[in-house]
């Protein structure tokens, strides 16, 4: 199908910056949630371990990743479940947007290791407030995007051993090893003391004939979707208490005053349109 050509003239403020061989490791070294806000990135080349500062990005930052990099995208979501990842067939866009500072980076940059041998140029500019929405729509409003659902399996469930004070015997997921990431779950640059997280509650959803399970930590922060056998495994090895009351509304009913942790319901296709039928406390 032939693509429709689009063009947008935008007003910018300040000078246009031209970067040569700029890695995301370097670019995000100056990123601030307080100054730059939510990030949106699009790339056809993606490495889930490309740089160490992924966890600095504000929760619910969005990633548009070429579908051919699905395996790397899955690895990323398994580490950082509160980022929103979309797969896009034949994606070739290379762009980064900061919502609050309105900085746009466009060019040949990709999420790759700073030691790459590529020779690349990219340009950075600040978009005027009046043109910001149209600029974001032009860059990231992609009809073919597909939300990436990643399920943890029974083999992913681990139990804290006797030397882990305060969490002995608690079940945890691979994402809970990212202690630095969980210490930064807020809309600001403020960092809390790192603690060990674990599965505290599992919400059960019924969508037509499908049963789905979403896991949450002690602070009711979404930490991943569980497969049927992962849920069964937890029930087999731990004492699980089931109740009908659930703390979470659907995403379409989410109020503007809702806490940041509930914002995943605006994007996750299960939680967006549905309410849980049961809550299972572990």
122 with 141, same domain: the answer is yes
207 with 246, same domain: the answer is yes
Residue 164 lies in a domain: yes
pLDDT at 27: 85
Q: Both tokens of residue 111?
A: 């999420």
Q: What is the CATH number of the domain that holds 29?
A: 3.30.870.10
Q: Both tokens of residue 106?
A: 């466009």
Q: Is the pLDDT of residue 140 over 80?
A: yes
191 with 277, same domain: the answer is yes
Instruction: Give the range among 23-32, 92-101, 233-242 with minimum mean pLDDT.
Output: 23-32
Residue where one domain finishes, among candidates 115, 147, 179: 147
Residue 5 lies in a domain: no
134 with 163, same domain: the answer is no
CB atoms within 10 A of CB 5: 5
Q: How confident is the model at residue 9 (pLDDT cuts 50, 70, 90)?
A: confident
Q: What's CA 245's distance to the chain center, in Å?
A: 27
The span from the CA of 128 to the CA of 38, in Å, is 17
Q: How confident is the model at residue 68 (pLDDT cuts 50, 70, 90)?
A: very high
209 with 114, same domain: the answer is no
135 with 163, same domain: the answer is no
- pTM value is 0.91
87 with 163, same domain: the answer is no
Mean pLDDT, residues 101-108:
90
104 with 207, same domain: the answer is no
Residue where one domain finishes, among candidates 147, 178, 205: 147
134 with 204, same domain: the answer is no
Mean pLDDT, residues 193-220:
91
Residue 2 lies in a domain: no
211 with 270, same domain: the answer is yes
Residue where one domain finishes, among candidates 100, 130, 147: 147
**Maximum Cα–Cα distance across the chain:** 61
Q: Is the pLDDT of residue 112 over 70?
A: no
- The helix (run of H) or strand (run of E) holding residue 35 is helix 33-36
**Tens-place pLDDT, residues 146-199:** 999 999 999 999 999 999 888 999 999 999 999 888 888 888 888 777 788 999
pLDDT at 2: 67
Q: Both tokens of residue 15?
A: 């000078």
The domain in which residue 195 lies consists of: 151-281
229 with 250, same domain: the answer is yes
Residue 6 lies in a domain: no
171 with 273, same domain: the answer is yes
Q: How confident is the model at residue 88 (pLDDT cuts 50, 70, 90)?
A: very high
More confident residue, 240 or 9: 240
Ranges assigned E (strand) in 44-200: 62-66, 84-88, 95-98, 103-107, 121-127, 146-147, 151-152, 158-159, 171-172
Q: How confident is the model at residue 56 (pLDDT cuts 50, 70, 90)?
A: confident
Structural domain count, the chain: 2
Q: How confident is the model at residue 241 (pLDDT cuts 50, 70, 90)?
A: very high
């Amino acid at each position: 199908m032939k693509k429709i050509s689009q063009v947008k003239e935008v007003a910018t403020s300040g000078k246009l910056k031209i970067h040569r061989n700029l890695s995301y490791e370097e670019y995000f070294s100056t990123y601030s949630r307080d100054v730059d806000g939510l990030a949106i990135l699009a790339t056809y080349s993606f490495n889930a371990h490309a740089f160490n500062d992924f966890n600095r990005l504000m929760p619910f930052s969005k990633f548009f990743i070429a579908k051919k990099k699905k395996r790397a995208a899955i690895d990323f979501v398994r580490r950082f479940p509160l980022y929103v990842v979309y797969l896009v067939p034949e994606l070739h866009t290379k762009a980064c947007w900061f919502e609050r500072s309105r900085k746009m980076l466009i060019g040949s940059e990709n999420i790759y290791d700073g030691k790459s041998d590529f020779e690349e140029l990219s340009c950075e500019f600040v978009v005027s407030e009046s043109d910001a929405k149209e600029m974001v729509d032009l860059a990231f409003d992609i009809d073919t995007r597909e939300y990436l659902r990643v399920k943890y399996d029974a083999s992913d469930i681990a139990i804290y051993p006797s030397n882990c004070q305060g969490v002995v015997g608690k079940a945890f997921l691979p994402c809970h090893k990212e202690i630095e990431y969980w210490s930064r779950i807020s809309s600001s640059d403020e960092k809390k003391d790192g603690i060990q997280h674990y599965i505290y509650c599992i919400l059960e959803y019924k969508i037509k004939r499908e049963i789905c399970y979403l896991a949450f930590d002690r602070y009711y922060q979404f930490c991943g979707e569980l497969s049927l056998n992962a849920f069964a495994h937890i029930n087999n090895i731990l004492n699980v208490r089931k109740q009908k009351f659930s703390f979470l509304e659907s995403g379409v009913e989410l109020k503007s005053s809702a806490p940041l942790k509930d914002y995943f319901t605006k994007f996750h296709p299960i939680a967006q349109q549905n309410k849980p039928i049961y809550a299972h406390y572990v």
